[in-house]
Structure 1
Amino acid sequence: MQNLPVLYIGNKNYSSWSLRAWLGLRVAGVAFEEKLVPLRSEEWHAKAPVFSPTAKVPAYFDGTKTIWEALGILEYIADSQPDTMLWPLDIDVRAIARAVSLEMHGGFGPLRSSMPMNCRKSLPGLGRNEGVDKDINRITEIFKMCRTQYGQGGDFLFGHFSIADAMYAPVVTRFKTYGVSLDPIGNAYIETILALPEMKEWYADAATEEWVIDDAEVK
């Protein structure tokens, strides 16, 4: 019996990058074994440098090689298993999907730092500042552009679920936690992501975790 690939992830309550890879693989129907290593634990310090060259999550081991970084993992699956349709088929639309995914990968620092991912909490109104509001406005623009210009044929940013949706899913959790409301198009998209069975499973698992990282808790 062939062993399944392994996806190493961190705490589901906090680990936004883990969610990106996990959600993309799950929605695409890719079979894998999930191994959760609690962030900053003794187990983490012992194992993370072994399963990932960066000592970070997520990391994906397919039996012969390790792929790290959520976007790198999902790109690898999109290339090696094209039937997953993790990118739009049209080359021009695919370029836009990659652009907004990379914008999320490298941007929105104020929102990330002031509104850390925390699936267990409800903290409406906390974390807002000028930089965060600028990020929220830009994300609202992205959601509106993608849904109105490229979202025909489905309820996701580019119609069919894609890597772009996986990349923005942790932001959706932040908007839920911190009570951020967008325009009608953005709010409908938030509900689409939160309604995914895979997202409900992630939230349910996060709710049962006992680990608490104090500096990841906004009070």
Structure 2
Amino acid sequence: MYRLHIANKNYSSWSLRSWVLMRELGILFEERLTPFETGPNSSPFREFSPTGLVPCLIDGDTAVWESLAIVEYLAERHDGVWPEDGAARAWARCASAEMHAGFIALRQRCAMNCGIRARLTDVPASLHGDLTRLDELWSDGIARFGGPFLAGPAFTAVDAFFAPVAFRIQSYDIELGELAMAYSDRLLELSAMQQWYREALREPWRDPAHEAEVSEFATLLEDRRTHY
């Protein structure tokens, strides 16, 4: 069985991508969660990940790191990771790569923190540009391939790559166009996303660096996490 190493569900957007894809596609794996640690000499993920980062998928003696590499590794072994249709598959790969490398302002100013509700202090041009592109991209995929997911009727890797954005939209009360908002809600309603959210709220850890990311760009309105 695969072993998937992840970090805190409340914060780790990269971990969510691999986790939600495998859960939604019914790919069995053992979850290993190692919380983030702070400090100059802290690298708790080095024991299993060559980069000291998560996610990292272990398959026997093979370690697969980086979320895009994990997706492609799984696609070689399981059906449904990418859309069957060639045009949809090409679009899905492009959109996933764009998310993997881009949307920098969105990442910086709307750090994933599932358990909070916050109000952004401002929306600079860089963030506005990311949100405009996000709306455009999501709307294009749904219109082009008929929905309800980005590349057609089934949840695939491209949806997993944007799953953390749905939590960001919820946490920071971000407004997009009608198609994009409906899609974000659809992601949040998935059984795997609901499970991730419940478990994120119950986590006992607080990581100062991740908490500071929120306070730098937003005003905290509500904290729905169980442990304080």
TM-score (norm: length of structure 1): 0.92
State how far apart, in whole Å, the 1-side matches of 2:24 and 2:122 are. 30
Instruction: Please give the per-residue CA displacement for 1:18-42, whole angstroms capped at 9, x wherever unaligned.
Output: 0001001111100000000001269
Task: Supply the AA of the counterpart residue of 2:133.
Answer: R
Q: Please give the secondary structure, in 2, of the residue aligned with 1:71.
A: helix
Q: Among 190, 215, 218, which residue is 1:196 paired with?
A: 190
Q: Among 37, 40, 44, which residue is 2:37 paired with?
A: 40
CA contact (8 A) 1:101 1:167 kept: yes
Task: Supply the AA of the counterpart residue of 2:162.
Answer: Y
Alpha-carbon offset, residue 86 of structure 1: 1.3
List runs of 5+ in structure 2 lacking aligned partners.
216-228
Larger displacement relative to structure 2 (44-53 or 26-35): 44-53
The 1:57/1:130 distance shift into structure 2, 3 A limit, reads same
Alpha-carbon offset, residue 48 of structure 1: 1.2
Instruction: Please give the per-residue CA displacement for 1:2-60, whole angstroms capped at 9, x wherever unaligned.
Output: xx211000000000000001001111100000000001269x94641121100000000
CA contact (8 A) 2:20 2:193 kept: yes
List runs of 5+ in structure 1 lacking aligned partners.
none
Instruction: Please give the per-residue CA displacement for 1:116-157, whole angstroms capped at 9, x wherever unaligned.
Output: 00000001334632211110000000010000001x2x5111
Instruction: Please give the per-residue CA displacement for 1:79-123, whole angstroms capped at 9, x wherever unaligned.
Output: 111x2x111112222111100000000001111011100000001
Larger displacement relative to structure 2 (161-170 or 87-96): 87-96
Q: Which residue of 2 aligns with 1:15?
A: 12
CA contact (8 A) 1:127 1:178 kept: no
Matches within 5 A, 1:168-207: 168-207=162-201
Q: Which residue of 1 aligns with 2:226?
A: none
State yes or no: 1:137 paired with 2:132.
Answer: yes
Q: Which residue of 2 aligns with 1:162?
A: 156
Q: Please give the secondary structure, in 2, of the residue aligned with 1:61.
A: strand
CA-atom RMSD in angstroms: 1.6
Q: Which residue of 1 aligns with 2:224?
A: none
CA contact (8 A) 2:120 2:172 kept: yes
Task: Supply the AA of the counterpart residue of 1:205.
Answer: E
Q: Which residue of 2 aligns with 1:78?
A: 75
Q: Which has the higher strand share?
A: 2
The 1:100/1:8 distance shift into structure 2, 3 A limit, reads same
State how far apart, in whole Å, the 1-side matches of 2:163 and 2:29 are. 20
State yes or no: 1:111 paired with 2:106.
Answer: yes
State how far apart, in whole Å, the 2-side matches of 1:32 and 1:130 are. 41
Instruction: Please give the per-residue CA displacement for 1:150-200, whole angstroms capped at 9, x wherever unaligned.
Output: 1x2x51111211110000011111111000011110011011000001101
Task: Supply the AA of the counterpart residue of 2:205.
Answer: W
Q: Which residue of 2 aligns with 1:214?
A: 208
CA contact (8 A) 2:114 2:201 kept: yes
State yes or no: 1:24 paired with 2:18.
Answer: no
CA contact (8 A) 1:115 1:127 kept: no
TM-score (norm: length of structure 2): 0.88
